Structure 1
Amino acid sequence: MALYDDPAFLAGYRELRRTGLGLNDELEIPAMEALLPSAAGLRVADLGCGEGGLAVRLAAAGASVVAVDASASMLSRAVQHPQIRYLQADLAQLDLPESSLDLVVSSLALHYVDDFTGLVGRVARWLVPGGQFVFSVEHPVVTAPVEAADRVVDDYADEGLRQRTWFVDGVIKYHRTIGSTVEALVAAGFVLEALREPQPSPGQVERSPHLAVHRRRPPLLLISVRRG
């Protein structure tokens, strides 16, 4: 069963999004939008699309989108749009036609992927020359500790599986350093265009005090690369 098909997890996640107490609205969505090209006429894949928020924004801007997620529950709630084709698939096995895409995006999903290098290699094949890959993940300083901690950077060099309690016990994520993430992209033939670590402004923290911890260390890493 996919993580987001667990009823307890799904209930917690949806409540987080409903209340706006996560990172999405304040930090991740604006940071992602700043890196995306004009979508009009683009062929796009959204990896780990969830309920389709990013896919819908791209489709509304004129893109044709294949939106992929492993969770049947998330896809059942996805917003329908004539320019979006939803596909239930595990990213570990997903394959798409070679040179069929202009843009690949992923919002806070790839830290759940074990074989990041393998996925990056497939993304490079799916993109046309000059095609763009833009994604966000939990920042490695957050995923690093073997024992979960809010403010302590520990075990940073020890990459691999981490287990966390997030709504339910045993949530599996994969820690990678910034260096190995960028090296995997470069090895696949990508050229780095942007690497950003968004943090809330003092004004955002004043309006939304739950964001205060993220002034102490960056919660997100966003990368934009282009196929050479």
Structure 2
Amino acid sequence: MKENQYDQTAFFEKYRQFPRSVAGLQAAGEWHELRKLLPDFTDKRVLDIGCGFGWHCRYAAEEGARQVLGIDISKKMLTVAQEQTSFENVSYRQLAMEDMAFAPDSFDVVLSSLAFHYTPNFQEVCEQVFKSLSAKGSFVFSVEHPVFTAEGRQDWLYDEAGKPELWPVDHYFTEGKRQANFLGSQVTKYHRTLTTYLNTLLTVGFTLEAVVEPQPEPRLLAEVPGMADELRRPMMLLVKAVKAV
């Protein structure tokens, strides 16, 4: 099994207290923009890669999806997802994204939220997604923005008063492994340039339909402490691609 910080008890309990873990999509700063990229789910077969607590799976079911499968490497995350899911057409499976091997034409829509910066094998994952999608199927995902992942530590430089002063961007063109401090733990992530993310999709055969660098939803700027600082640099990248053939 691949590296999986989310099944470490101390880390998982902290993650469960995250605003987006508690309140779901409405507490996700990018949701208002990501939702615009999603296709019509009516009667669609949907795969959610790195589904976590299953928020997007349940949303797809609510919007009329015929069948939804959420996969995640974390058993603890999937246990919570199952407990919170009442839709009979939504199922979950413990599976690392790198181990996907679905049959051709298995899905009409593939989603992924903030998962692909955890894999060193982005192109292989995209190839598997392309193979498993039906013709004209949609691939919509979010990742941490390359400006956010480049330096590695993923923290501000602070002034003498302890206020965020600058966001460091360094070694941008040196792709690969980074060690980030997240919820008090060292978490391995993988940095890629914007060029790599987009050209990989084109190389695999996808047609790009949208690229979005989302700003936080305005209401969250007042509700969530520190959210206003997210206007100072991009934290996330949203992409919609289509299997045009």
Superposed pair shares fold, TM > 0.5: yes
Distance in 2 (CA, whole Å) between partners of 1:71 and 1:24 is 23
| Aligned equivalent of 1:69 | 72
| 1:1-228 aligned within 5 A | 2-17=4-19, 25-63=27-65, 64-78=67-81, 79-80=84-85, 81-150=87-156, 151-200=167-216, 204-228=220-244
Q: Alignment partner of 1:49: what SS?
A: coil
CA RMSD, Structure 1 to Structure 2 (Å) = 2.0
Once superposed, which parts of structure 1, at least 4 consecutive aligned residues long, lie more than 2 Å away? 17-24, 146-150, 200-209
Distance in 2 (CA, whole Å) between partners of 1:173 and 1:23 is 23
Gaps (5+ residues) in structure 2?
A: 157-166
Report if aligned partners of 1:113, 1:173 keep a CA contact under 8 Å in 2.
yes
Measured against aligned partners, the alpha-carbon deviations of 1:112-133 in whole angstroms (never above 9, x if no partner) come to 1110000001100000111110
Q: Tell me how far 1:19 sits from its aligned partner.
A: 8.2
Distance in 2 (CA, whole Å) between partners of 1:3 and 1:93 is 18
- Cα separation, partners in 2 of 1:214 and 1:123, compared to 1, 3 Å: same
Q: Tell me how far 1:206 sits from its aligned partner.
A: 3.5
Distance in 1 (CA, whole Å) between partners of 2:43 and 2:172 is 41
Report if aligned partners of 2:142, 2:236 keep a CA contact under 8 Å in 1.
yes
Q: Alignment partner of 2:29: what SS?
A: helix
Q: Tell me how far 1:149 sits from its aligned partner.
A: 3.4
Distance in 2 (CA, whole Å) between partners of 1:153 and 1:119 is 27
Distance in 1 (CA, whole Å) between partners of 2:79 and 2:152 is 34
Instruction: Provide the TM-score with structure 2 as the length reference.
Output: 0.87
Opposite residue 136 of structure 2, the aligned amino acid is G
- Cα separation, partners in 2 of 1:82 and 1:180, compared to 1, 3 Å: same
Opposite residue 10 of structure 1, the aligned amino acid is F
- Cα separation, partners in 2 of 1:147 and 1:200, compared to 1, 3 Å: closer
Instruction: Provide the TM-score with structure 1 as the length reference.
Output: 0.93
Percent pairwise identity: 38
Measured against aligned partners, the alpha-carbon deviations of 1:153-210 in whole angstroms (never above 9, x if no partner) come to 1111111011111124320111011111001000010000000001136664244341
Q: Alignment partner of 1:77: what SS?
A: helix
Report if aligned partners of 1:134, 1:224 keep a CA contact under 8 Å in 2.
yes
Distance in 1 (CA, whole Å) between partners of 2:60 and 2:80 is 18
Opposite residue 121 of structure 1, the aligned amino acid is E
- Cα separation, partners in 2 of 1:20 and 1:71, compared to 1, 3 Å: closer
Report if aligned partners of 2:130, 2:206 keep a CA contact under 8 Å in 1.
yes
